[in-house]
Structure 1
Amino acid sequence: MLLQIALDKPEHFALLPQIRNIADIVEVGTPLLKRFGIGAIATARELCPDTLVLADTKTVDGGQLEAEMVFGAGAAFMTVLSSTSKATHEAVGRVAAEFGASVIIDTITESGKKDLLPANASFPASFAYVGVHLPSDARNAGDRSTAHIEAVADMHRRGFRVALAGGIGPDTIDAVLAVEPEILIIGSAITGSEHPQEAAKWIRAKLSNPGRGWPWDKK
């Protein structure tokens, strides 16, 4: 199971030296990309040269151009919405293959539906994972659903590898580990912690020792 740490605010860049040897993947979140552009990817690569970088582009159109920019800047992964056109999926897939990069098919627009993807869904070979998560606005509005965690098993049955995100922290991590997503995405449980490096280390250790308890008061 890979650990992906999501950064969404400018001050999160300061955490990169602390997590560079802990995270398998550093996510340059959509808000950072909108604020700083492609330069945010280059910055993450400079601060964490040995860590893979994911750009959470949530691409919906202009697939070839966006993929060329993102992968050209050094990202190893980017996200594309599941609800966008087949033509966009194929355009991104071609560029990803040229760069030897990978794509996450993001089901955020399907959140809350019984079936996250159509039964006959198929994607280019470079589309390596299905992103399953509870949207942050829904969580901030009080939605504490665990449907996204429960959906992992269905994605596995259908043959997809899963990148799971959405409110994952000390209260939910045991349930997450039980369904075994291929990528575990953590945001505020680390970036919002008073001890971000220690929190990241705890989560990393939790992957190999599920019995470890959370060492700080839950918030």
Structure 2
Amino acid sequence: MIDEGFMIGEALVGEEPEIAHIDLIIGSKKEAVGTAFACSIAQPRQGHTPILGVIRPNLPTKPTTLIVPKVSIRNLADAEKMFGPAQSAVAKAIADAVEEGVIPKAEVEELAVIVSVFIHPRGRDYQRIYRYNYAATKLALSRAIQKFPDIDKVLEEKDKSIHAMIGFKMNNLKKPPYLEVALDIPDWRRVEGIIRALPRSDAIIIEAGTPLIKRYGVEVVQKIHQLRPETVVFADLKTLDTGNLEARMAGDATADVAGFSGLAPIGTMEKFIEECKKVGTLSLMDTLNVPDPVEVLRKLKVKPDIVELHRAIDVELYQNRGQEQESEWGNIGEVREVCGNEVLVAVAGGIRLKKVKKALKAGADIIVVGRAITAAKDVTGAARGFLQQMGVEDVDQFRVMTDF
């Protein structure tokens, strides 16, 4: 079954406080698992002393199994939960796996299993502790043998998944199109009302606009995340100098995206992009007032993650006197030729509901909208109108999530 090395499995089963979380490795006694097994027994740690898996006293399971407590055992009550229902459940699950053919019976004397077991200090129900740890051990073991998940499953699920302990997921903007709501209002009370009114959608990006950041500092990004922890927040810094410093500031403030000006020196832009990569923040180049954005992009040794083709608010106000003018977004295809197909292209300036499909048809990935949403009497309805025009839906909206 196992030619060399070891196999790894993990499973989370049940509900708090008796929830079971199992980390497991299985492998040959002659290889790394056997060495780790022997060292753990020979060098016990206070509060985490490993114990053999026994179905009942004097009946150890096979393959020989070592149970390692994840949570420190500090008193007799903790010890009883580990030495009682948890120990027996893990041992029974291993033996049942042999009986069911998950582990070949002929190999049990050649193998060793190490199981790391989580028991919550507030867990009280022995029935649930036993059943949850039994199920989690069997599941982790079968996953180890099957080498689950494979890399295709990991790549499929990584942008959909929400960790139970944090309640939100990291959105790397892999599923365009997106609606970016620009908050260029330097009034936190108004901004807070708008944020609360926006629909809860995976397709929304919230922009902390330059005026908002200038008044409240880049820390306003954290305040937005406190209201909407699951939403991508863009810090529109329009950086012109000290690129690495300002990118680091945005990352420290939990910005998912940070923006610099395409008018900045080439070195500043490159430092900004490189620093964004270091802190796990996407970089955005704002082309506001840049005569030839494509030429600037060609000069960059490192390319931004997002290019925003932008028309200024002041230009809009001037040109919109008397009649509405359509935005000009430039050649999106040329941007992709220079930066590669992975680059996201945002369009900003003068975007109204009737222009959304035109922008998407031109190749835009992100539609940036300001006053058409933020100044609307019905912010929720206005935002939903744009989302409907974009034809987006939430990731896994109709999926009933238990495991996979």
Deviation at residue 82 of structure 1 after TM alignment: 1.4
Q: Which amino acid aligns with 2:349?
A: G
Structure 1 residue aligned with 2:183: 7
Does the C-alpha gap of structure 1 residues 179 and 192 become closer, same or farther in structure 2, counting only changes over 3 Å? same
Sequence identity of aligned pairs in percent?
26
CA distance in 2, matches of 1:96, 1:51: 18
Q: Which amino acid aligns with 2:353?
A: P
In the alignment, is the contact (CA less than 8 A) between 1:53 and 1:76 conserved in 2? yes
Structure 2 residue aligned with 1:176: 359
Q: Aligned pair 1:21/2:197, yes or no?
A: no
Larger radius of gyration: 2
CA distance in 1, matches of 2:210, 2:301: 23
CA distance in 2, matches of 1:123, 1:3: 29
Provide TM-score, normalisation by structure 2: 0.48
Q: 1:136 aligns with which of 313, 316, 339?
A: 313
CA RMSD of aligned residues (A): 1.9
Structure scoring higher RCO (CA < 8 A, sep ≥ 6) equals 1
Q: Aligned pair 1:43/2:226, yes or no?
A: no
Q: Which amino acid aligns with 1:147?
A: E
Deviation at residue 89 of structure 1 after TM alignment: 1.6
Q: 1:146 aligns with which of 327, 330, 344?
A: 327
In the alignment, is the contact (CA less than 8 A) between 2:327 and 2:349 conserved in 1? no
In the alignment, is the contact (CA less than 8 A) between 1:20 and 1:48 conserved in 2? no
Q: Which amino acid aligns with 1:199?
A: A
Structure 2 residue aligned with 1:116: 293
Deviation at residue 155 of structure 1 after TM alignment: 2.6
1:104-138 Cα offsets, whole Å, 9 max, x none, are 1111021xx4x32317333525x101110111110
Structure 1 residue aligned with 2:16: none
Does the C-alpha gap of structure 1 residues 123 and 204 become closer, same or farther in structure 2, counting only changes over 3 Å? farther
Query: Runs of 5+ in structure 1 lacking a partner?
Result: 210-219
Structure 2 residue aligned with 1:32: 212
Q: Which amino acid aligns with 1:2?
A: Y
CA distance in 2, matches of 1:168, 1:128: 22
Q: 1:188 aligns with which of 371, 376, 390?
A: 371
Deviation at residue 152 of structure 1 after TM alignment: 2.8
Runs of 4+ in 1 over 4 A off after TM superposition: none
1:54-111 Cα offsets, whole Å, 9 max, x none, are 000000001122111111010011111112112212221222111111111111021x
Task: Find the residue that maps to 2:353 and give its secondary structure.
Answer: coil
Q: Which amino acid aligns with 1:4?
A: E
CA distance in 2, matches of 1:194, 1:202: 13
Provide TM-score, normalisation by structure 1: 0.85
1:136-193 Cα offsets, whole Å, 9 max, x none, are 1100112535322x53344345445311111111242232122131111111110011
Q: Aligned pair 1:164/2:336, yes or no?
A: no
